[in-house]
C-alpha cells in the first residue's frame, strides 16, 4: 500500500469535499424529501386572526409530520386552508355568536373539505381548525398512498 504525501492527500481530500458539496442536495439546505405542508390563506383584516393562526398551527404540528406556514408560500406545494370568520351581530349591534367558515384545498387548488361552525363565542376556533386540518391530513395521506402505489407498479 502506497502512502500519500501530504500535498497529494490534501488534493484528494479537497476533491472529495468539493464533490460532496456540489452533488449533495443536503449540503445546499435542500431536503430530498420535503415534509407535506399546510398553509393559512386568510384575509388580513379578519377578526381573531392571531387566534386562528395559533389554533391552526397547533393542530397541524400536533403529529410532527407536517410543516405549517401562517401565510401563503409560493415556493412550496402546500395544502391550503382558507378561513373566513366573523362575529354575528344583531341590528342593534349586540354580539350573538361567532361563525368560522373554512375550506381546505390541495396544492392544485382542488377542494378537499369545507365546513362552517357557529358558536356562542370565538372558542369554536379550535374546533374548526382541528376539523379543517383533519380534511387536509386525510387528503395528504391518501395522496401519499397513491404516489407510493404508482411508484411500485411497473
pLDDT digits (tens, 9 = 90+) for 65-105: 899 999 888 888 899 999 998 888 899 988 899 999 999 99
CA-closest candidate to residue 137, choices 59, 45, 26, 42: 59
What is residue 5's predicted lDDT score, i.e. its pLDDT? 54
Q: Is 49 exposed, middle or buried, given 0-12, 13-18 or 19+ CB atoms closer than 10 A? A: middle
Least confident span in 31-35, 72-76, 132-136: 31-35
What is residue 6's predicted lDDT score, i.e. its pLDDT? 44
Average pLDDT value for residue range 31-41: 81
d(C-alpha 122, C-alpha 115), whole Å: 16
Asked whether residue 24 is domain-assigned, the answer is no
Asked whether residue 19 is domain-assigned, the answer is no
User: Can you give the residue range of the structural domain that contains 102?
Assistant: 37-152
Grade residue 10 by pLDDT with cuts at 50, 70 and 90.
very low
**Per-chain mean pLDDT for the chain:** 79
Asked whether residue 73 is domain-assigned, the answer is yes
**Has this prediction a pTM greater than 0.85?**
no
Which CATH number do you get for residue 116?
Answer: 3.40.50
Better-scored residue on pLDDT, 63 or 3:
63
Instruction: List all residues 6 or more positions away from 70 whose beta carbon is below 8 Å from its beta carbon.
Output: 39, 40, 53, 56, 57
Asked whether residue 18 is domain-assigned, the answer is no
Asked whether residue 78 is domain-assigned, the answer is yes
Domain total of the chain: 1
Amino acid at each position: 500500500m502506497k502512502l500519500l504525501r501530504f500535498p497529494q492527500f490534501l488534493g484528494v481530500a479537497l476533491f472529495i469535499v468539493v464533490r460532496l458539496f456540489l452533488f449533495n442536495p443536503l449540503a445546499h439546505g435542500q431536503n430530498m424529501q420535503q415534509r407535506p405542508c399546510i398553509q393559512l390563506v386568510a384575509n388580513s383584516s379578519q377578526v381573531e386572526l392571531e387566534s386562528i393562526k395559533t389554533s391552526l398551527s397547533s393542530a397541524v404540528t400536533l403529529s410532527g409530520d407536517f410543516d405549517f406556514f401562517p401565510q401563503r408560500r409560493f415556493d412550496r406545494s402546500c395544502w391550503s386552508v382558507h378561513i373566513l370568520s366573523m362575529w354575528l351581530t344583531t341590528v342593534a349591534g349586540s354580539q350573538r355568536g361567532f361563525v368560522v367558515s373554512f375550506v381546505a384545498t390541495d396544492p392544485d387548488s382542488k377542494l378537499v373539505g369545507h365546513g362552517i361552525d357557529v358558536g356562542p363565542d370565538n372558542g369554536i376556533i379550535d374546533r374548526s381548525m382541528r376539523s379543517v386540518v383533519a380534511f387536509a391530513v386525510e387528503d395528504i395521506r391518501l395522496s401519499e398512498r397513491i404516489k407510493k402505489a404508482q411508484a411500485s407498479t411497473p
